[in-house]
Amino acid sequence: MNHPVLVFGAGLLAGAMNAAAGGGSFVTLPALIFAGLSPVIANTSSTVALLPGALTSSWIYRGEVKNFKGPPVQVLLAMSLLGGLIGALLLLFTPSQTFDRLLPWLLLIGTVVFAFGKQAGAMLRKVIAIGPATLVVAQLLLAVYGGYFGGAVGLMMMAVWQLLGIVNLKALNAVKTQMVAAANAIAVICFIVAGKVAWPETLLMLVAGVMGGYLGARIAQRLSERWLRAGIITISAAMTLAFFLARSKPARPTGQFQAPGTWLRADR
Query: What is each CA distance from 24 to 178, 227, 239, in whole angstroms?
Result: 17, 16, 12
Contact 64, 174 (CB under 8 A): yes
Lowest mean pLDDT among 58-72, 151-165, 249-263: 249-263
Residue 228 has what pLDDT? Answer: 65
Contact between residue 87 and residue 211 where contact means Cβ atoms under 8 Å apart? no
229 lies in which domain range? 4-265
**Is pLDDT larger for residue 179 or for residue 64?**
179
Q: Which residue has the higher pLDDT, 6 or 172?
A: 6
For residue 46, give the nearest of 258, 168, 267, 204 by alpha carbon.
204
More confident residue, 237 or 73: 73
Tally of domains within the chain: 1
Task: Compute the distance between CA of residue 257 and CA of residue 103 in angstroms, rounded to an integer.
Answer: 11
Judged against a pLDDT cut of 60, whether residue 262 lies above it is answered with: no
Asked if residues 234 and 17 have their Cβ atoms less than 8 Å apart, the reply is no
To 5 degrees, how large is the angle CA 152–CA 111–CA 105? 100
Tens-digit pLDDT profile for residues 111-120 = 787 677 667 7
Cite the DSSP H helix spans in the chain.
4-20, 25-34, 39-60, 73-93, 96-125, 132-148, 153-162, 169-193, 199-220, 225-247
Q: What pTM, to 2 d.p., does this model score?
A: 0.79
Q: Name the least confident of 79-83, 189-193, 205-209, 251-255.
A: 251-255
Residue of 29, 18, 59 lying closest to 174 (CA atoms): 59
Which residue from 152, 161, 153 is spatially nearest to 125, judged by alpha carbons?
161
- What is the structure's pLDDT at 259? 46
More confident call, 17 vs 148: 148
How high is the pLDDT of residue 253?
Answer: 46
Q: What is the mean pLDDT of the chain?
A: 81
Query: Tell me: the pLDDT tens digits for 49-104?
Result: 999 888 887 887 788 888 888 889 999 999 999 999 999 999 999 888 888 888 88
More confident residue, 164 or 174: 174
How distant, in Å, are the alpha carbons of 51, 86, 267 from that of 190? 13, 10, 18
